[in-house]
């Protein structure tokens, strides 16, 4: 079919074009073919088809999803009348499709997706802020994404009084109280927090060992077959083998964890497998003091965007876990001026990678 001359970007789909879309869909044309025929972008046409699709029942009582031009026109007119002067997104369907895709599929927050677009040089007709996007989700204005697809909003953290004792089942562990106070300032690379992300109750034995670097927020995620102390030691042994003993000591100067049973083999965690002496220094938080591993807690919430509570990690592949690790390390961070952890780390020109 002869392609229609391209119209300016971000133009409205007209009523006549809606009837063209209906006819082309009946001819089993693909969305790219329809977009080329009427001179609109792929995302604009896809959004239009989703908006104008209705469910019909034939004479055999079988349901069919069908695009109807008259229904799409009615919805469009209604949206225009309800839009109001403050609905800035207007007819910028490319921006709508971008927001929906980045929130629902890429797991980005409104703030992060806006800075990702800026960093990648992606431009839209409409300029919009993160607060407005949150408002639109609250209003239910997006067709292909909902408020529930947004990352969890942070609750205001309450200051908690530090506990003065170590856990009863870990009297021999070295308390966080003995850790150098300078580590709190996050000015030196190589100080890590460690935790586990577990499968759902009675839903698999495998879990994730997560290591979060305090200064750069670099993340390392390792799948373990179970939540046992021996599995933690084995995972760290594999890391030491990967980096080499000298580099491991430089990279993992200290590790801070909670008093979970999986971390109680402090000697095994600290001791080098390949050389004499220790490979790191281990510290234990006070009981019920997750805030002492705040980096861990924040990044664990990012992991849960992909693996929600109840996930059976027995069924999750190492490739999927590596994908999430890469996503976290390349996610735009407000604290670093909306560059990623990996970019921030590279900017420091650290001797150890």
Least confident of 29-33, 43-47, 88-92, 195-199: 88-92
pLDDT digits over 64-115, tens only?
Answer: 889 998 888 887 777 665 544 445 676 788 888 899 999 998 999 999 999 9
Stronger pLDDT, 152 or 118, i.e. the higher one: 118
Question: Which H or E element spans position 204?
Answer: strand 203-213
Alpha-carbon span 192 to 213, nearest angstrom: 4
Give the confidence band of 7 by pLDDT, cuts at 50, 70, 90: very low
Of 193, 189, 235, the C-alpha closest to 350 is: 189
Q: From residue 188, how far is each of 213, 214, 215, 306, 340 by CA, in Å?
A: 10, 9, 7, 30, 18
Sign of CA dihedral 220, 226, 229, 230: negative
Would you say residue 293 has pLDDT above 50? yes
Q: What is the mean pLDDT of residues 307-326?
A: 94
By the 8 A CB rule, do 304 and 297 touch? no
Q: Give the predicted TM-score (pTM) of the model.
A: 0.68
Alpha-carbon span 281 to 271, nearest angstrom: 9
Alpha-carbon span 86 to 97, nearest angstrom: 19
Alpha-carbon span 225 to 296, nearest angstrom: 21
Alpha-carbon span 255 to 226, nearest angstrom: 20
Q: What is the mean pLDDT of residues 271-277?
A: 93
Structure-block tokens of residue 1:
């079919």
pLDDT digits over 173-186, tens only?
Answer: 899 999 999 999 99
By the 8 A CB rule, do 253 and 191 touch? yes
By the 8 A CB rule, do 258 and 195 touch? yes
| pLDDT for the residue 172 | 67
Q: What is the largest CA-CA distance in the chain?
A: 80
Alpha-carbon span 69 to 262, nearest angstrom: 60
Distance, CA of 24 to chain centre: 37
Give the confidence band of 156 by pLDDT, cuts at 50, 70, 90: very low
Alpha-carbon span 236 to 272, nearest angstrom: 9
| pLDDT for the residue 157 | 47
Of 301, 106, 331, 118, the C-alpha closest to 216 is: 331
Q: From residue 322, how far is each of 91, 148, 154, 317 by CA, in Å?
A: 38, 25, 25, 9
Q: From residue 193, how far is each of 79, 104, 174, 224, 307 by CA, in Å?
A: 49, 29, 14, 17, 20
Query: Phi, psi at residue 192, to the nearest 5°?
Result: -115, 155
Of 335, 323, 115, the C-alpha closest to 217 is: 335
pLDDT digits over 197-254, tens only?
Answer: 999 887 889 999 999 999 999 999 999 999 999 999 999 999 999 999 999 999 999 9
Of 120, 130, 146, the C-alpha closest to 89 is: 130
């Amino acid at each position: 079919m002869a392609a229609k001359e391209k119209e300016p970007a971000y133009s409205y789909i007209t009523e006549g074009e809606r009837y063209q879309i209906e006819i082309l869909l009946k001819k089993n044309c693909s969305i790219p073919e329809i977009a080329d025929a009427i001179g609109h972008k792929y995302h604009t046409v896809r959004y239009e088809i989703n908006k104008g699709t209705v469910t019909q029942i034939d004479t055999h009582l079988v349901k069919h999803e069908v695009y109807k031009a008259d229904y799409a026109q009615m919805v469009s007119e209604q949206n225009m009348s309800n839009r109001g002067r403050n609905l800035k997104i207007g007819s910028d369907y490319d921006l709508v499709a971008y927001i929906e895709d980045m929130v629902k599929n890429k797991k980005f927050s409104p703030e992060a997706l806006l800075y990702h677009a800026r960093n990648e040089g992606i431009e839209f007709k409409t300029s919009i802020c993160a607060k407005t996007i949150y408002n639109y989700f609250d209003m239910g204005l997006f067709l292909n994404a909902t408020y529930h697809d947004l990352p969890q909003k942070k609750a205001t953290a309450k200051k908690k009084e530090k506990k003065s004792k170590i856990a009863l089942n870990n009297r021999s562990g070295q308390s966080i109280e003995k850790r150098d106070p300078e580590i709190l300032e996050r000015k030196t690379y190589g100080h890590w927090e460690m935790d586990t992300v577990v499968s759902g109750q009675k839903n698999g034995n495998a879990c994730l060992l997560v290591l979060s670097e305090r200064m750069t927020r670099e993340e390392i995620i390792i799948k373990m077959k179970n939540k046992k102390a021996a599995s933690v030691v084995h995972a760290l042994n594999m890391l030491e083998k990967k980096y080499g003993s000298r580099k491991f000591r430089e990279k993992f100067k200290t590790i801070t964890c909670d008093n979970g049973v999986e971390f109680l083999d402090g000697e095994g965690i600290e001791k080098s497998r390949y050389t004499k002496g220790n490979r790191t220094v281990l510290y234990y938080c006070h009981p019920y003091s997750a805030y002492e591993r705040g980096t861990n807690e924040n990044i664990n919430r990012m992991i849960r965007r992909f693996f929600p509570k109840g996930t059976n990690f027995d069924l999750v592949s190492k490739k999927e876990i590596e994908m999430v690790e890469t996503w976290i390390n390349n996610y735009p961070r407000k604290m670093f001026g909306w560059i990623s952890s990996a970019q921030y780390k590279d900017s420091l020109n650290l001797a150890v990678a």
